[in-house]
Amino acid sequence: MRIGIIGGGAIGLLFASHLSEKHRVTLYTHTEDQASIINRDGIRLIEDGESRLLTGIISKGLDEGISGEDLLIVAVKQYHLPQVLPWINGIQVPLLFLQNGFGHISYLKRLQSPAIYLGVVEHGAMKHDGNTVEHTGLGITRIASFKGELEQLSLVNGRIDHFPFKKSEDYHSMLMDKLVVNAVINPLTAILEVENGGLITNAFYYQLFQDLFEEISDILEVRNKTESFEHVKSVCMATAENRSSMLKDLENGRRTEIDAILGHVLSEAKSKGKSDCLTSSLYRMVKGKESQGG
């Protein structure tokens, strides 16, 4: 299959390198520079301490336009979607969106493609440079349909080593589960400057962890709170050594995904008239640190 991936960040590079084993991959990058480096040197994938060079991948600047793909995977951050949409608005090929939160859902209705899928990435990935990505945590990619038949997406049926896909029935609950995990773990680790495991092992941080889960699960009206809490906790422990993406973003003076994550929770709280003291405080702390430039 001919797969186009939009976005040369950690997730875009991770998907390009793994999918290139079974598919013809074109990676659409924001800058021409990154595209030419990848065309010249390939993509280096670091996995289990070993480094592999993947060459078959073609790369192009997005502004050259998109053509001849059977599937387009949109792997840019939610806040970069507005720059990408003009290129995919009228396109008829199936689309797979990998953004966090719910901010992107409102855009999807405007797209003309008959098949639109949503994905949630549970892999750990770190971009070292323009053509090097490290697979820091083996996870899965959950995929649900927003529009069209999920069965027609051959991606979820084929097998790729170290890169499993899993079907989800309901995109809303799939995105919600990921949102709750991100909304609790990311802001706390970013402000407290600890690895994910610190939220469980430090007794004071664990109280904040519980309080924030309580507030957020109440705002988002999470159905099975006990199960959801245990899920967030298990993710925290499974990734105990990891520094969350939001913590790394602040450490590197980069923009965070706080608006797609806590921003959404806050607008839900507002529309439902629910109390959001801890959520809004953490939102302001992260926005403030972000505006300091790390």
| Closer of 135 and 233 to a second copy (Cβ) | 233
d(CA 158, CA 212): 39
Question: Which amino acid is residue 172, in one-letter code?
Answer: H
DSSP symbol at 259: I
**Which spans in 20-152 are helix H?**
32-41, 81-88, 105-108
d(CA 158, CA 25): 15
Among 192, 200, 238, 240, binds a second copy (CB under 8 A): 192
Q: Shortest distance, CB of residue 66 to a second copy, whole angstroms?
A: 38
Among 82, 114, 288, 293, binds a second copy (CB under 8 A): 288
Of 60, 77, 178, 233, the catalytic one is 178
State CA 147 to chain mean position distance.
20
Among 65, 203, 226, 252, binds a second copy (CB under 8 A): 203
**Which spans in 54-155 are helix H?**
81-88, 105-108
Q: Is the dihedral of CA 105, 111, 115, 119 positive or negative?
A: negative
Which one of 18-26, 27-35, 93-101, 188-196 is the stretch in contact with a second copy (CB under 8 A)? 188-196
The residues, ordered by sequence, that sit 6+ positions from 80 with a Cβ below 8 Å of its Cβ are 7, 30
Q: Is the dihedral of CA 245, 52, 119, 30 positive or negative?
A: positive
Which one of 154-162, 190-198, 234-242, 262-270 is the stretch in contact with a second copy (CB under 8 A)? 190-198
| Residue 211 binds a second copy, judged by CB under 8 A | yes
> What three-state secondary structure class fits 141?
strand
| Residue 94 binds a second copy, judged by CB under 8 A | no
Q: Shortest distance, CB of residue 137 to a second copy, whole angstroms?
A: 23
Q: Shortest distance, CB of residue 109 to a second copy, whole angstroms?
A: 32
Which one of 8-16, 54-62, 238-246, 280-288 is the stretch in contact with a second copy (CB under 8 A)? 280-288
Among 177, 198, 261, 269, binds a second copy (CB under 8 A): 198
Q: Shortest distance, CB of residue 294 to a second copy, whole angstroms?
A: 11
| Residue 291 binds a second copy, judged by CB under 8 A | yes
Active site residue 178: yes
> What three-state secondary structure class fits 193?
coil
Which residue, 11, 12, 14, 73, is CA-closest to 44?
A: 14
| Residue 238 binds a second copy, judged by CB under 8 A | no
Residues binding a second copy: number (CB under 8 A): 21
DSSP symbol at 121: E
Among 36, 39, 202, 267, binds a second copy (CB under 8 A): 202
| Closer of 140 and 277 to a second copy (Cβ) | 277
Question: Which amino acid is residue 61, in one-letter code?
Answer: G
Which one of 9-17, 33-41, 205-213, 220-228 is the stretch in contact with a second copy (CB under 8 A)? 205-213
| Residue 105 binds a second copy, judged by CB under 8 A | no
d(CA 59, CA 5): 9
Q: What would the DSSP string read from start to end of 84-105? A: HHHHHTT--S-EEE--SSSTTH
What does the binding site for a second copy look like in residue numbers (CB under 8 A)? Answer: 191-192, 194, 198, 202-205, 207-208, 211, 277-278, 281, 284-285, 287-289, 291-292
Catalytic residues: 178
